[in-house]
Structure 1
């Protein structure tokens, strides 16, 4: 059985704090946030963000338990999905460099199904790093993440326990380089440097949810 939950409204801090399930079934958690936030990866210091700028842009500052860099969420900036996989499931892979490959392929296939224009690919191989990737999620290339041409469409981070892996996925609908640059404390990180890192996609959210959910459940049920 695959358990699907749609959490409408609320704040990103509450979504990230949600407890892991107590059963042993795969879960899909779709989140829609009524509050904007800039979300730090688990290893990031709160000092990397400009608190005053975040207040001006009405962004909560939130820390997630999965790794990676800063992500802007909420107010229709992204489609947010958490996929929770129990360790007994056949798709569980202990190697974190390969663990999300199947999930990225599901997102890729769904975007192709929807007729999204561009070269839609899943990043394979080692982490692709640059001078911004440790700071901003969408500046790097992690295994399993999805790209349209040179822009990241789907960022994926992982939180792992002995019993679960929680994949946190964000499809970029509106990439706001100016807001991200303002929210970062380092003044050398400008909107020009961040331009084009994420995608801008005009898609019907409900149609995307249906397409992605079908492609994911197809893979979960096949194993």
Structure 2
């Protein structure tokens, strides 16, 4: 089955409003370059999860995505964001929600290997951690990619009658306060979360552009 590559720009709110077309004929890769930073909340998170004063002061929009998981800070200059949309008739579709992400995580692994970065694929269930429901990179989900026991690629998914939409993000570096400073937390909880999450994730350093090229080539060459 072929893969259609689409480059998408614009607001993060508009991007999340995109739906999986009911008549999707083939898998699509949406390489997204947002026009401005945002705090993206998971589908189950209330808008009050965000600190309105902090996000306004930082000039950061608050958007809620349709896929699950915790909050994600998106800075166009510091992240690679790629969505993959797979129709149900595609050979990559799986009724097993956990296993359905493995092939995508393996593609990210191959992309990282091109940069000389060795990684591991997480094949367990959704990890339960103290801050996992609040912050995406505070816990591991199926198909996500680790480097040195730290999460490097986050993946969430939304499944509809038409197919599945996998949303992927990786950073140049991980700083838990990028997201924690935008959430409605007490000072004590923010400090506790920051101390716990500082070693939970990592980034690819100055190789973001190379990573974007590598993952798009990997996804585009899938059979």
Q: Same fold (TM over 0.5)?
A: yes
Partner of 1:26: 27
Deviates most, 49-58 or 99-108: 49-58
Task: Note closer, same or farther for the CA distance 1:76–1:174 as it changes in structure 2 (3 Å cut).
Answer: farther
Report the counterpart of residue 138 of structure 2 in structure 1: 139
Shift of residue 162 of structure 1?
1.2
Which structure 1 residue ranges, 5 or more long, are not aligned?
A: none
CA distance in 1, matches of 2:128, 2:221: 32
**Map of 1:199 onto structure 2:** 202
Matched, 1:151 2:150: yes
Per the alignment, residue 210 of structure 1 pairs with 213
Report if the CA contact (8 A) 2:80-2:208 is conserved.
yes
2:124 matches 1:125: yes
Distance in 2 of aligned mates of 1:125 and 1:205: 27
Q: What residue in structure 1 maps to residue 104 of structure 2?
A: 103
Summarize deviations over 1:149-205 as a string: whole Å, max 9, x none.
132110000010111100000012232322322111122033333323332322444
**Counterpart contact for 1:80–1:171, Cα < 8 Å:** yes
TM-score (norm 1): 0.91
C-alpha contact (below 8 Å) 1:157/1:168 kept by paired residues: yes
Is the partner of 2:99 in helix, strand or coil? coil
Partners of 1:4 and 1:27 within 8 A in 2: yes
Residue 3 of structure 2 contacts residue 219 of structure 2 at CA under 8 Å; is this kept in 1?
Answer: no
Q: Measured at CA, do residues 146 and 166 of structure 1 come closer, stay the same or move farther in structure 2, by a change above 3 Å?
A: same
The alignment yields a C-alpha RMSD, in angstroms, of 1.6
Q: Which has the higher contact order (CA 8 A, sep 6+)?
A: 2
Q: CA deviation at 1:148?
A: 0.9
CA–CA separation in structure 2 for the residues paired with 1:174 and 1:30: 20
TM-score using structure 2 length: 0.91
**C-alpha distance in 2 between matches for 1:193 and 1:60:** 26
Unaligned stretches of 5+ residues in structure 2: none
Structure 2 residue aligned with 1:11: 11
Q: 2-side partners of 1:13 and 1:216: how far apart? A: 25
